[in-house]
Amino acid sequence: MHRAALGRQISVFLADDDARFRRLLHSVLEEDGYVVVGEAGSADETLAAVGRGRPDVVVLDLVMEGADGLSTLVALQAAHPGLPVLVISSLFDPVVEQEVLHHGARYLEKVEGIEALEQAIDALVAVERER
């Protein structure tokens, strides 16, 4: 589904310490109709840059330089209440997944693929727009 079908383009901020993964994700998301408004490779860069990009959703890697994804998630929520966050990871850990959910974010394993990631982004933004 092209993102315009949801009423307007969805803006996304990408936070992942793997620059190749970020470039790939950036390219695929924009090809599919999303607008990538910023990227960061560390927790500190993410926290500093998210406010400038004003994204609809942040895609946040669980393991990044500077801090773990959970503490970055908590800091993002404190600085930007209500900002939807999708935490992604190449490692499955049910305890961490429960922590992410407890903090109001969504958790997705990278191996689930781009379609699952786009569906999760769409769902997070749809819920936020209904509020």
CATH code, domain carrying 110: 3.40.50.2300
125 within a domain of the structure (yes/no): no
127 within a domain of the structure (yes/no): no
129 within a domain of the structure (yes/no): no
Beta-carbon contacts of residue 1 (< 8 Å; ≥ 6 apart) = 122
HSE value, Cβ hemisphere, 13 Å, CA-based, for 57:
28
Instruction: Report pLDDT for 127.
Output: 83
CB 54, CB 11: distance < 8 Å: yes
Which structural domain range is residue 67 located in? 3-120
Tokens at 58, concatenated: 């942040």
DSSP class of 8: S
Instruction: Report pLDDT for 129.
Output: 73
Can you give the pTM of this predicted structure? Answer: 0.91
Instruction: Report pLDDT for 4.
Output: 45
In which residue are the tokens 């998210």 written?
50
CB 63, CB 69: distance < 8 Å: yes
130 within a domain of the structure (yes/no): no
In sequence order, what are the beta bridge partners of 89? 109
pLDDT tier, 6 (very low <50, low <70, confident <90, very high otherwise)? low
131 within a domain of the structure (yes/no): no
23 within a domain of the structure (yes/no): yes
d(CA 78, CA 87): 16
HSE value, Cβ hemisphere, 13 Å, CA-based, for 98:
3
108 within a domain of the structure (yes/no): yes
Number of compact structural domains in the chain: 1
What mean pLDDT is reported for the chain? 90
Residue type, position 99, single letter: E
128 within a domain of the structure (yes/no): no
